[in-house]
Structure 1
Amino acid sequence: MATKTKRKPIDPVKVEEAEKQISDYARTVKFTVTEYSFEHIVQRLKNDRYYVPGYQREHTWPVEKQSKFIESVFMGLPIPFVFFWQDQEGRMEIVDGSQRIRTIRNFIDNTLVLKGLETLPAVNGMRYSDLPPSRQLKFVETPIRVIILDNATDAVTRTEMFARINTGGTTATDAEVRRGSLPGPFMSMIISLADSPEFIELTPINSQLVDKREREELVTRFFAYLESFDPAAIASDGDCGDIPDYKEEPRRFYFLFVKSMNDLSAREIEENGESAKLNEMSAEFMRVLAFVKKVSPFGFTKSASGSQVPRVRFESIAVGSALALRADPDLFERAPDITPLLNTEGYKEATTSDAANVKSKLLKRIKMVRDWLGMQ
């Protein structure tokens, strides 16, 4: 009979920390539950009392999926909750459920012609106005359960919730959410740099990833890690160099960073007409790109025909190069070929996607590039 390996008890300090995190986060989510009719919600959507946030507007269901949802309503199937958040002006932001609500509006407005229905095929080709008056009335009076988040729920928590509970089937990426919910000078700079010819040349990715704002995600990560990196801080492994604010909650970390940089640069622009910090960051980003082009024959990809830019690889090369250049500006002229490092087993192990967001691995791959360049 096989013996069971005795499990080592969890450190009480870790248990206490876990409980604190759970309690602190739970306190940020306050809500009420209510019920509205389709007619009520659509009317409020039309008069702009309810609205779809920018990061969700580009995601719309195809006609077939909209039709399937309407068919489900006719069949009497339960409709999932929708989540609203009441903003400071009293308007309701649709945190989750915008696809269902827009589909209901489209049908009531007669712009949706049902198609592809299999359970109720006789309804194919029909609009709302084609239904008998009694069925129309039953449809608009259909109730839907609504969870309204308290307006004290901050933007980070709302977007975190959207990413976790989204039931629309076409989930916005983190980059799309930030673009829509965090407009500002810094976000505008991210978008501009992501679209620069120099960056596009070094990041040959497919059109699907481009549409999902993957390049904006990469630029955001570059600045978030670089600007938060403290070379004098001691990391948990005793090595010099840490990102103290990074707690292995990447979505929250990036969101708060972008928000803080938007606020800082907006203040600079208001006071001086321009942001010295944004000018400095933009120039450093372009200098790093020029450096990477010199030291890495394939840019951020693995081969001449590469069409992928793994985030872990990008982060290590871009941030590591930036830190090395900050420590030794003359390194730009020496521009050593970084290929020998990238081909080592150690680097390959450090840039696997496994546990990509674990802080120790993040620091390891960034400092590996920084330290190797610093010795050249």
Structure 2
Amino acid sequence: MSKKLPAPIMCGKERATTIEHIFEGTPFNPVLPDDRKLYRFVLPHWQRLPCWDVARQTKFVENVFLGFGAGKYVCNGGDYEFSGDELPMSGWLIDGQQRITALGEFKNNRLPIFGDIHFDDLSPYERRVRFNREPFPCFELDYQPDEHLLKQLYLQLAAGGVPHTAEDLARLGVIA
């Protein structure tokens, strides 16, 4: 008798996007009152604040330039009312906040890499080819209206990173 695997909970499509897409793509707008913005994305009200220290941010951005890639990020797909208004949770960034924050800090000249190199120190070619056009794929979930499932995905995806504090888990409604 074979054992049954659980059904996948992460359903959607991988999009071949680049780093510049996170800064210049069509933005989503917060629909719920406590949601926050991070460039073109909406952060769920229960997602923790940025927690990477400068050393971790720097190492991540340096690794992008060394050819290790940026990984991929996960967002909830967008869906709309008949009126054209976005549905709640459209465009929520589920995974990738720390990496996107680090990339933004570098792009905005607030995070030097390799000692003292800022974004503005790069040649136009280096900005375009080695940063802006560097692959940073997005796994776009099929629009998911179930906030509980989105929280479950968030925790599953974050399991290998910086551990959540008791305060982070309380924001999610999870008992530590």
Please indicate, yes or no, whether the TM-score normalized by the shorter chain is above 0.5. Answer: yes
Counterpart for residue 22 of structure 1: 6
Of 29, 34, 40, the match for 2:21: 40
Taking structure 1 as reference, are residues 82 and 167 closer, same or farther at Cα in structure 2, changes over 3 Å only?
farther
Residues 92/177 of structure 1: CA separation in 2 closer, same or farther (3 Å cut): farther
1:150 counterpart (119, 125, 142): 142
CA contact (8 A) 1:56 1:172 kept: no
> Hey, what's the Cα distance between the residues in 2 that align with 1:129 and 1:167?
35
State the Cα distance separating 1:106 from its structure 2 match: 1.2
Provide the C-alpha distance between the structure 1 equivalents of 2:73 and 2:10, rounded to a whole number of angstroms.
15
Distance 1:69 1:155, change over 3 A: same
The aligned residue for residue 280 of structure 1 is: none
Determine the C-alpha separation between the residues in 1 that align with 2:137 and 2:159: 14
Between 1:124-133 and 1:159-168, the stretch displaced more is 159-168
Superposed, 1:91-170 pairs within 5 Å as 91-114=90-113, 123-138=114-129, 139-152=131-144, 154-166=146-158, 169-170=161-162
RMSD: 2.9
Q: Structure 1 length as normaliser, TM-score? A: 0.37
Match for residue 72 of structure 2?
81
* Higher CA-based Rg: 1
> Alpha-carbon deviation of 1:70?
0.9
1:97–1:166 Cα contact (<8 Å) kept? no
Q: Distance in 2 between matches of 1:101 and 1:76?
A: 17
2:47 to 46, 56, 79: 56
The one-character-per-residue Cα deviations of 1:325-376 (angstroms, maximum 9, x if unpaired) are xxxxxxxxxxxxxxxxxxxxxxxxxxxxxxxxxxxxxxxxxxxxxxxxxxxx
Residues 70/85 of structure 1: CA separation in 2 closer, same or farther (3 Å cut): same
Alignment partners' CA distance in 2, 1:146 and 1:104: 15
- Is residue 50–residue 97 contact of structure 2 (8 Å, CA) maintained in 1? no
Counterpart-to-counterpart distance in 1, 2:45 and 2:163: 13
Report the CA distance between 1:133 and its aligned residue: 2.0
Q: Secondary structure at the match of 1:55?
A: coil
Give the TM-score taking structure 2 as reference length: 0.73
Give the distance between the partners of 1:79 and 1:93, measured in 2 at CA. Answer: 19
Contact 1:107 1:128 in 2 (8 A): yes
Q: Label 1:41 to 1:147 Cα distance change in 2 as closer, same or farther (>3 A).
A: same
State the SS of the aligned residue for 1:102: helix
Count residues in correspondence: 157
Structure 1: stretches of 5+ with no match in the other structure: 1-11, 115-122, 183-215, 219-376
In structure 1, the partner of 2:175 is 217
- How far 1:63 moved relative to its partner? 1.0
Distance 1:74 1:136 in 2: 11
User: Contact (CA 8 Å) 2:50, 2:101: kept in 1 or not?
Assistant: no
Alpha-carbon distance in 1 for matches of 2:140, 2:116: 35
Residue identity matched to 2:14? V
Higher relative contact order (CA 8 A, sep 6+): 2
Identity of aligned residues (%): 24
